[in-house]
Amino acid sequence: MDLRGRPKRCSLHFGILPFIVFALVFFGYGFVSHRSQELGTPGAMTRMVYAQPKALTPSRKDVLVLTPWLAPIIWEGTFNIDILNEQFRLQNTTVGLTVFAIKKYVVFLKLFLETAEQHFMVGHKVIYYVFTDRPADVPQVPLGAGRKLVVLTVRNYTRWQDVSMHRMEMISRFSEQRFLHEVDYLVCADVDMKFSDHVGVEILSALFGTLHPGFYSSSREAFTYERRPKSQAYIPRDEGDFYYMGAFFGGSVVEVYRLTKACHQAMVEDKANGIEAVWHDESHLNKYLLYHKPTKVLSPEYMWDQQLLGWPSIMKKLRYVAVPKNHQAIRN
């Protein structure tokens, strides 16, 4: 106090001023440094030499390469994987691959994982999310650098249709609880398949679907959509873009969460109304993608059955193919 009973404010301020300045500088640097780490420093772009794209020369003349809503359709010859790999490398992308190995379908898991290690997102970080009711039967498959496997134990169901439909519920639940914090993109695949050629970052987008190999050349009237108005999956005969396969879809975690949650809720409503869509979760997937247009569409190269369909000349590569099997024997 001074002689008039007032605090010595000036002397106090001058006394602590150096400490305030030091604290601001120290913590300010820490904040800027932390923020810099969050934002990331752009990496150096690798010098690349490749043929110049020609504005007047189409990449493919034999197939549709762009949807009416301007989403690319991915065929061999429509992309340069080296350019795309560099773009996604700069983003430090991590991709999650979900697969359900329920009951005896776990027998397909070893081949699925081994071929994924050879062809799926090579050179990028990958987390395999294996949903199974038999965690002890999950095979030990050697994984490359930056790749790991996570086993998620779930229940099984008596009917295979219920197993199929509950995938949407499981993916939506784990997307919200876990995937959102661990990966940038989710790819959702069937286990009774194998990767037979490159499947990489060219498929990644906010939301993608895959053309069904049996319907890619069919008219919408021939699509096996759910046609009963009572179902939430109902699509009238004069609507429809493509018929999408339920065995291979994906996108950003947020968009996959929205898709799977919407499909699960629609199936719950159907069940309450005593109806089951003709192709179960695939029917609801098609309804969703009709009204929420995918930002990329994968050609049938990414979902093929050579045993049933052969190898037509339009398919330059067969990337993800069905494994010959007796479905009924496995389900029983």
Mapped onto helix, strand or coil, the DSSP state of residue 187 is strand
Q: What is the DSSP string of 45-110?
A: PPP---PPP-TTS-S-SSS--B-TTS-BEE-TTS--HHHHHHHHHHTT-EEEEEEEE-GGGGGGHH
Q: What is the DSSP string of 146-169?
A: TEEEEEEE----SSHHHHHHHHHH
Is residue 282 part of the annotated active site? The answer reads yes
Mapped onto helix, strand or coil, the DSSP state of residue 41 is coil
Instruction: Name, in order, each residue with C-beta under 8 angstroms of 300's C-beta and a sequence gap of 6 or more.
Output: 210, 211, 212, 213, 216, 315
How far, CA to CA in Å, does 213 sit from each of 10, 77, 97, 272? 82, 19, 21, 32
Instruction: Name, in order, each residue with C-beta under 8 angstroms of 89's C-beta and a sequence gap of 6 or more.
Output: 43, 123, 124
CA distance 245 to 234: 17
The DSSP symbol for 304 reads: B
The closest alpha carbon to 96, from 130, 141, 72, 132, belongs to 130
Residue pointed to by tokens 């050579």: 306
From 226, 255, 282, 301, the catalytic residue: 282
The closest alpha carbon to 288, from 254, 263, 319, belongs to 263
Question: Active-site positions?
Answer: 282
